[in-house]
């Protein structure tokens, strides 16, 4: 397993945001984490990636326990993520935003940068080439030399994913990657996620678009009030009475309408 989460707990005062959550992601697997707003999905991702320190439980990445470590230390073990709200450097170019993701593995010292040594110049060229490669991979259509904030929202999403991939992760966490995208952009996102999987990168995503979730996921973990209430293949999960009641909020007879069959973006969005 690339990711193992065991009995994870996170409390804010008297509120239990994550309450005994356990799940795993295998190498090269696509796992979606779904649930109503406030179910603890992003809080769990924040614990896994080091942005929150859990109050209990364990997180293992590639067999090594990383519970409570700093985000940079966890990233160095092979984890990258995107956020529900874009976190790009608006005053930097598209290319420089993605180049920022390469600095995790570039071999240069502060002295190299200060003196502009041959090693520094070589690593900067390598960083640029790597950034261009990932922008090609996500099929960015906009200007790469202009400020990233001038790109349309959907293109900015691609830049954020490209920057995460530039870290060369083993596991990629995507937090609501389809938020704000139109129907065509969601279909392109679905294709992109599958291309990422073909690289051997495992993917865990939080998503409210049930069409995309049912289409792309090999396994789905469902949370409610910080607890796991289901974990299994899409067909099993969407027929689970506890999921229908807690997440879809409708009678089991109506579950077929929320199954999200067809192309990405169809179905019910319970944001």
Q: Residues 13-45: pLDDT tens digits?
A: 889 999 999 999 999 999 999 998 889 999 999
Look at residue 106 in the predicted model and tell me its pLDDT: 73
Residues near 38 by beta carbon (within 8 Å), at least 6 away in sequence: none
Positive or negative, the CA dihedral 176, 177, 178, 182 is positive
Task: Give the tens place of pLDDT for each residue, 149-195.
Answer: 999 999 999 999 999 999 999 999 999 999 999 999 999 999 999 99
Residue 63, token pair as written in the block = 């067999």
Residue 108 to residues 76, 122, 130, 163, 240, Cα–Cα distance (Å):
16, 9, 16, 19, 52
Look at residue 168 in the predicted model and tell me its pLDDT: 95
Look at residue 109 in the predicted model and tell me its pLDDT: 64
Task: Find out whether 33 and 44 touch, Cβ atoms under 8 Å.
Answer: yes
> Residue-wise pLDDT tens for the chain (271 aa)?
999 999 999 999 889 999 999 999 999 999 999 998 889 999 999 999 999 999 999 999 999 999 999 999 999 999 999 998 888 999 999 999 999 999 876 776 666 667 777 776 777 888 999 999 999 999 998 889 999 999 999 999 999 999 999 999 999 999 999 999 999 999 999 999 999 999 999 999 999 998 999 999 999 999 999 999 999 999 999 889 988 887 555 443 343 334 443 333 333 333 3
In CATH, what is the architecture of 1-78+169-271? Answer: 3-Layer(aba) Sandwich (3.40)
Look at residue 11 in the predicted model and tell me its pLDDT: 94
Look at residue 264 in the predicted model and tell me its pLDDT: 38
By CB atoms closer than 10 A (0-12, 13-18, 19+), residue 63 is exposed
Q: Give me the chain's average pLDDT, please.
A: 88
Question: Computed over its alpha carbons, how large is the radius of gyration of the chain?
Answer: 19
Residue intervals of the chain classified under CATH 3.40.50.300 are 1-78+169-271
The span from the CA of 203 to the CA of 30, in Å, is 5
Residues near 168 by beta carbon (within 8 Å), at least 6 away in sequence: 78, 104, 105
The span from the CA of 41 to the CA of 37, in Å, is 8
Its pTM stands at 0.85
Task: Find out whether 214 and 261 touch, Cβ atoms under 8 Å.
Answer: yes
Task: Residue 156: name the closest of 148, 167, 164 by CA.
Answer: 148
């Amino acid at each position: 397993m690339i990711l193992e989460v065991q009995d994870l707990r996170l409390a804010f005062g008297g509120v239990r945001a994550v309450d005994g959550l356990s799940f795993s992601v295998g190498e090269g697997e696509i796992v979606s984490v779904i649930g109503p707003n406030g179910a603890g999905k992003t809080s769990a991702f924040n614990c896994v990636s080091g942005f929150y320190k859990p109050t209990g439980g364990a997180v293992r990445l590639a067999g090594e326990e990383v519970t409570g470590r700093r985000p940079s230390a966890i990233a160095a073990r092979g984890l990258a993520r995107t956020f529900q709200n874009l976190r790009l450097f608006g005053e930097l170019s598209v290319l420089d935003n993605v180049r920022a993701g390469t600095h995790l593995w570039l071999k240069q010292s502060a002295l190299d940068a200060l003196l502009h040594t041959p090693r520094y110049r070589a690593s900067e060229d390598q960083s640029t080439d790597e950034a261009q490669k990932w922008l090609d991979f996500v099929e960015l259509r906009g200007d790469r030399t202009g400020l990233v904030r001038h790109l349309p929202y959907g293109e900015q999403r691609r830049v954020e994913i490209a920057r995460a991939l530039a870290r060369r992760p083993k596991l990629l966490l995507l937090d609501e990657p389809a938020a704000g995208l139109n129907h065509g952009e969601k279909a392109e996102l679905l294709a992109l996620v599958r291309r990422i999987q073909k690289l051997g990168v495992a993917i865990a995503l939080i998503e409210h678009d049930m069409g995309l979730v049912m289409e792309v996921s090999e396994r789905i973990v469902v949370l409610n009030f910080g607890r796991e209430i289901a974990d299994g293949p899409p067909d099993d999960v969407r027929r689970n009475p506890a999921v229908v009641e807690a997440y879809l909020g409708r009678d089991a007879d109506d579950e077929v309408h929320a199954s999200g069959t067809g192309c990405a973006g169809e179905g019910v969005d319970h944001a």
